[in-house]
Homo-oligomer: A and B are copies of this chain.
Amino acid sequence: MQKLTTIREIFRNRDNYLGQTVEIGGWVRNIRDSKTFGFLVVNDGTYFEPLQVVFHDAMANFSDICHLNVGAAVIVKGQLVATPKAKQPFEIQAETVEIEGASTPDYPLQPKRHTFEYLRTLTHLRARTNTFEAVFRVRSLIAYAIHQFFQERDFVYVHTPLITGSDCEGAGEMFQVTTMDLNNVPKNEEGKVDFSEDFFGKPTNLTVSGQLNGETFAMAFRNIYTFGPTFRAENSNTTRHAAEFWMIEPEIAFADLQDDMELAESMMKYVIGYVLEHAPEEMKFFNQFVDKGLLERLEHVRTSDFGRVTYTEAIELLEKHNDEFDYKVSWGCDLQTEHERYLTEKIFKRPVFVTDYPKDIKAFYMKQNPDGKTVAAMDMLVPGIGEIIGGSERENDYDKLLTRMKELGLKEEDYSFYLDLRKYGSTRHAGFGLGFERCVMYLTGMGNIRDVIPFPRTVNNCEL
């Protein structure tokens, strides 16, 4: 049955099919009929545009077809004919319409506009609507573009672990993983949880980042990337936070912060180019119905040389506009989205890397600059969203790293594997993290992270 011609194939290679008999299978998005003939609008999920089917009363099952409900699955055979006077370029004049699976009058996706809120209650069906069909196809293409970008450059894809015995950077609240009976948690003599009874014999969590594991592989393969799920048990109910999301974390050895920024810039441009090329219909739809300036903005990002500014310079530039900000900036503070967007939209008018942040607002593993105050970190800011990528050169000096860990109260024994990398053939190296969902939001213009994840997980929400 997979031999049925896809609607994508018909649209992409129309000249091979016009005037020919084709057979398609798909779902009815809309239906109109009169006494002697009718129209089905059929979408088969392979292509953003549907295909119109004309059926007529010479068919034995004409009445059954007329009584189809929206959502029904059909297999249609007929001639593909050009329709130069109509909105759509061609239609199928059906010889047969087989009903593969009926639908019901109460099918929840009637041909009218539904709110995103309503559709979030229908995660098992919403991919059948225009917007979510477009979002999830583009999501798939972005994922592949990222793999292709790195694989073309011979980066090794590393599956870093999901269940972890350490809390990595100590960032964010974590989910615990256990097989113990929660009704009757085993306790030791001191009345504390007896983790020796647990599956791994110790406390374990879901990972918040694969970076430290990734670094171990960069010290073997030189260039690697991760692409996998990460988790945050943050109790925040916003349009930008999910408890489960995917991250891409490349790590490059024999590399410094400049190399890191060049890699990040090339990657973003590559992914944008890939999506514009492979999903033009979907991108046009987003531009028209979701985010009016989208295509112009992406095209601009793709063709700009990204700006570079140090954090210290950025603060000087922003301080002049402190009256325009809710949060006033001064050296040492973390940049808020309003500041990031001001920098990239108003001051630089293009994407910009902010580098060399104060060490006290950044992670322990970032390379300390000679000034003793800043670290070789970088954030990529893009118009419309602010920070989209965060990265750094890593501290590759054993003593400096250990001293910094001690200052921050990290236990040396928890990081002995990480320190080993600085003991045995340490190299300058760098990497960054890209939140995949944030990237999908950026490329589609969708405003809520719940609408770019197939089955989103947020506080009090874990359906399906």
| A425-B73 contact, Cβ under 8 Å, with A199-B233, A202-B462, A217-B136 | yes
Let me know if A220 and B185 touch, CB within 8 A: no
| Count of interface residues, chain A, beta-carbon cutoff 8 Å | 115
| A424-B175 contact, Cβ under 8 Å, with A1-B255, A46-B221, A462-B200 | no
- Give the CA-CA distance A243 to B128 in the complex, in Å: 34
Chain B residues near A79 (CB, 8 Å)?
A: none
Contact among B6, B102, B163 with A243 in the assembled complex (CB-CB below 8 Å): B163
Nearest-neighbor residue (CB-CB) of A177 within chain B:
B175
Chain multiplicity (copies): 2
- Give the CA-CA distance A460 to B204 in the complex, in Å: 11
Nearest-neighbor residue (CB-CB) of A223 within chain B:
B46
Which of A137-145, A330-338, A349-357 interfaces with chain B? A137-145
Let me know if B161 and A455 touch, CB within 8 A: yes
A16 at the binding interface (Cβ < 8 Å) = no
Let me know if A464 and B46 touch, CB within 8 A: no
A13 at the binding interface (Cβ < 8 Å) = no
- Give the CA-CA distance A426 to B102 in the complex, in Å: 7
Chain B residues near A228 (CB, 8 Å)?
A: 228-229
Let me know if A200 and B460 touch, CB within 8 A: yes
Considering residues A104, A202, A424, A428, which has the most beta carbons from chain B within 10 angstroms of its beta carbon?
A424
Nearest-neighbor residue (CB-CB) of A185 within chain B:
B182
A49 at the binding interface (Cβ < 8 Å) = no
- Give the CA-CA distance A46 to B139 in the complex, in Å: 29
Chain B residues near A26 (CB, 8 Å)?
A: 222
A72 at the binding interface (Cβ < 8 Å) = yes
- Give the CA-CA distance A134 to B163 in the complex, in Å: 25
A126 to chain B, nearest CB (A): 8
Chain B residues near A183 (CB, 8 Å)?
A: 185, 192-193
- Residue-wise, chain A 251-278 has the 8 Å CB interface mask toward B (1 for contact) of 0111110010011000000000000000
Nearest-neighbor residue (CB-CB) of A222 within chain B:
B45
| A464-B175 contact, Cβ under 8 Å, with A100-B426, A163-B244, A199-B243 | no
Let me know if A463 and B165 touch, CB within 8 A: yes
Let me know if A256 and B159 touch, CB within 8 A: no
Let me know if A457 and B221 touch, CB within 8 A: no
A423 at the binding interface (Cβ < 8 Å) = yes
Chain B residues near A8 (CB, 8 Å)?
A: 154
- Give the CA-CA distance A107 to B421 in the complex, in Å: 11
- Give the CA-CA distance A115 to B80 in the complex, in Å: 64
Let me know if B464 and A213 touch, CB within 8 A: yes
Let me know if B166 and A464 touch, CB within 8 A: yes
Could you give 13 example pairs across A and B, Cβ below 8 Å? A1-B428, A103-B424, A124-B418, A127-B217, A137-B221, A161-B462, A162-B162, A162-B229, A163-B175, A164-B462, A176-B182, A182-B182, A199-B459
20 A-B pairs besides A6-B154, A25-B427, A101-B425 with CB distance below 8 A are A45-B220, A72-B425, A100-B254, A100-B425, A101-B396, A102-B425, A103-B425, A124-B418, A127-B220, A132-B220, A136-B158, A137-B156, A160-B454, A163-B244, A175-B178, A183-B192, A200-B243, A217-B454, A228-B228, A229-B229
